[in-house]
Structure 1
């Protein structure tokens, strides 16, 4: 016996098996058909491990799903549903493993080793390519001598190496040696990995990262091309964005050159204003931080008011107008980043072109007033990134400090300019020049912001409520968190906005359609809502009336059928001779409904007692019955 085996069909087990050449088998279909069936069975055995159960291999026996080598080394498979093909290959120790190739070894559960001298030694691992190995759970290696030795790591490429948890090495000779890091490109390496606390350029806070992306090595770096402009804090920035910042710094530098001696004069006047000198007919009663207007042509009025958008207006304690063209009026009011917008309304498909947002509340904090956030809603438009502004401002400030120091030697030549500047500031204080002017020919009383953190602007205005704002001649905001806008406007409750007074009301026009619960509703929305409500009410009433009519008609038929049944039972005769019995059948009809009755009656032998029982059915499929006993005397 030369230990040569062949594939035969086992009818009792309904599968192909490997047996000795001396085993008997069916002689059907000829040698060609037998060879084709054997080849198909071998392919099925190697490609579908779930179809056969592997067994441990002894020296003279082969398990189902294994192919024995013909050289010095033989295949070894030692668990259920495993496959091993190739001299010296092995699928041992666990279930569902596959090893194909000379000296390939798949020793983990669900492991796959494909290629000469490949090793997949942990659960759910894959090793593909000559001498590749995947040695930790979930690891995958692809390519000649690729190594994936970290948990769930991946090495893809010739001689690539991923040695830490979740590491990825992609490219010829790429080496990812830190957890959650990526080595991308031929020869690329990772050098630092994740960092829990480090300092970044021009950022004061501590930074943290979960991993590293390496695209080069100590011999050279790579460029990243085709990069879109970043919009969020953690986006990459391209060269075009950096050039824009540089151009702005150059413009600031040019503006600073012409400032000369006017800086010192303006500084003295500004100090007087900061000390509480104020501007005629424009005062604020607050100990909070100064207002800041950083946008072009922006206006900020009130303690800690912030106007960062171009042409933005922030009026009131802690008011914030961050977007271009926006207006925030009242203590704590914010435009929430919404400014001028052109868009198609969400869900309405209506074109909207707004010139800005007027807000008298703050949707982010839940602080609302009667009118707020009236523009149609959509995704926020990005403003200038604060981090980018900080860098540009820092560069400008650095140059400004140097320029001011160099200007000290030329102060004596600007005496005439000093007089002009002082006069300009005096005009600003009197309200006769600048971007905020008043006409007080009637010599009306000055505004009185007597409430805590209140603001009053205009002749004879009064802001007596806490955090109140009064704007306009004779305007009165005497309630907490209230706003009075316009000549003679008066508030009558806390947390309200008034644009008139009792008997002197004003319309609020050009109101965009509201989209949020606290937005104002314009007349178009109100008319549409009323039309829809009326239509829905009419439809509901019609439906209910039709249902009631149907119920009444049905009830009428049931009653008519019942009356017909009563008439049918009343029509039944009864015996008249003593001791007699009678079976009777009766019928009746009433208002289109019919009934049929059946009855039995008996007259006693003495003719005194009468007993009867009867049943009826009608066209409404209802059944009725009745019994009776009578005594005649």
Structure 2
């Protein structure tokens, strides 16, 4: 195995340096045709050395000719320049006899320890001796005193004194930063997806961060503040529970808050749903209809009570007809049994006395009594029953007598009506029912244009509605819904009271700006805001990671260029000169350097100039001179 160091770039002027293909190999060496020498060396070396010759001529009080033009002319007009690579033992590498070739370099050390610095196409410091950085894998990077990446932490980066990256592809930036991946699976880090690596900057503030634009960009404080302001606005406008018990929601409108687009709630004995205006209007319509029916029923009962034929008392042994001058029973059918009433026709035929028997009316006849202006069934001053009375016609034009069965049916219906009216008055029947088991007072609608429904309900505010046992709508335009609910603010809807709050369930999604929102809408809006923030952070982080990778490759290209320039040999004898090439490779980046050096004939002056170019399309040149004394 051979250990080789070196790289090759064709030097040019500034950014105009152009890499040549098939010119250099880290194993076979360098082969430069004369055209390359003419273009490259002439363009780079001559502008550098011409001022040097002038300076030396001034210092020596003579004319100094370094022989650069002659050397370039000889090199350009001659055969191509071929340079072999030397291994660490100083032997030329011969690929024909030994085709194996492997280049490596374990480390570099500078003579003067200085802080680590990359810039100006130079590395001017590698840190403190004895505090070496350690990269645990080939594709990892560790820069800084005691900076380290762990074994198995592939593609990890640790930059800064004591920085540590122990998780694959993680980045530790800044002194003491630790990227160990321990927090990657925490729930707070997973809102935007599963992360495979982390960037740790050691508790430092990241400043100068532009606003993220893509879903995976990082976000700055201004963007987070905008999200925070939006969440604050949302929190200010959202309907929230009054406490952690979630038993009451108080709407915050200064003059009350309307709830619109409310779907119809279930109306049954176990329902806890809110009802909407149309449902309440239907109830109001039924209440209005029942009120009108009750008024009409009361009127009819009053007429019936005044005109109906009734028993004298509870024994039901007699009936007193109430006409001031007596009451005629008309359209009375002929009686057929001994207990039936007889009509005038029967009475006339049986009691006229026109037969041969003569002698006046029969004893069982129903005579007319002028004193009472009616037919009298009494015998010997004792009232008698009239039996066998057929059912008379019941109509507005009927003048017929009614029998006991008809009167009984009327009494049964009357008793039912009395009970029904009482039930309606107490709201125990109909489509609006009240079970006043606690004995509360009747509802009171004392305010103008109000409605109170329920035992003990009070609607005192103008235009208010109290619906439910002991519900109180005190403020104008307020609505109190449910048992003991209190609406004491104008134009509000209350579904409970202080300490006895209720939830409003099955609220549909709000559509208009003044609609109520449900919990699903509130959570969805917050989720969208968090998703947008996470997406922006991811995009910004990816851009930062890409820039860091480019910086790493630029640094590796700079190292390779420095290695190539350092590998150019130099002739040290008086009057001698050297035109040399150097090649190098470092962490996948390559560089080539070309240099020329010259020692004056008296050996007192030494001049050296070189140029380099690397695989990152970066080039540069340097020159130096010395006087021996």
Larger radius of gyration: 2
Higher-RCO chain (CA-CA 8 Å, sequence separation at least 6): 2
**The two structures share one fold, judged by TM-score above 0.5:** no
Of Structure 1 and Structure 2, the greater strand share is in 1
